[in-house]
Amino acid sequence: MKQNTVENQPGIINFREDIQKFSISFHQKNTIDSQFTCIVPDSGMIPQNLQKPGTKVVFTGVLVKDPTLPPPRMGGEQVYLLAELRSIE
């Protein structure tokens, strides 16, 4: 599986109603409209005080392409699984 590591990446917490999971989204650098959506497999990975849609965070973690994830909801979106969350604040 394709894997990316992000370090100190600013992002925004969202909640995906369609799959009942939190996600962290961020804009891909040097693009006009590309966005990464990182699906959080277990809500316990995110501290309770950050589990509110629209919360701005900075995180470090490992993203993995997973064929079982839902397809992108818009052009330019890439959907990844947040396989490992090393830090979030």
> Which CATH number belongs to the domain containing residue 84 in this structure?
2.40.50
The reported pTM is 0.90
75: phi then psi, degrees, rounded to nearest 5: -60, 140
Residue 72 CB neighbour total at 10 angstroms: 12
Question: Which residues constitute the domain of residue 68?
Answer: 3-88
**Token digits of residue 20:** 């009942």
pLDDT for res 80: 96
Residues 40-79 pLDDT 10s? 999 999 999 999 999 999 999 999 999 999 888 888 889 9
pLDDT for res 29: 76
* Domains contained in the chain, number: 1
Q: Which residue has the tokens 């701005």?
A: 56
Residues 4-31 pLDDT 10s? 899 999 999 999 999 999 999 999 777 7
The type of residue at 41 is P
**Token digits of residue 85:** 């969350």
SS3 content of the chain, % helix, strand, coil (to 5): 5, 55, 40
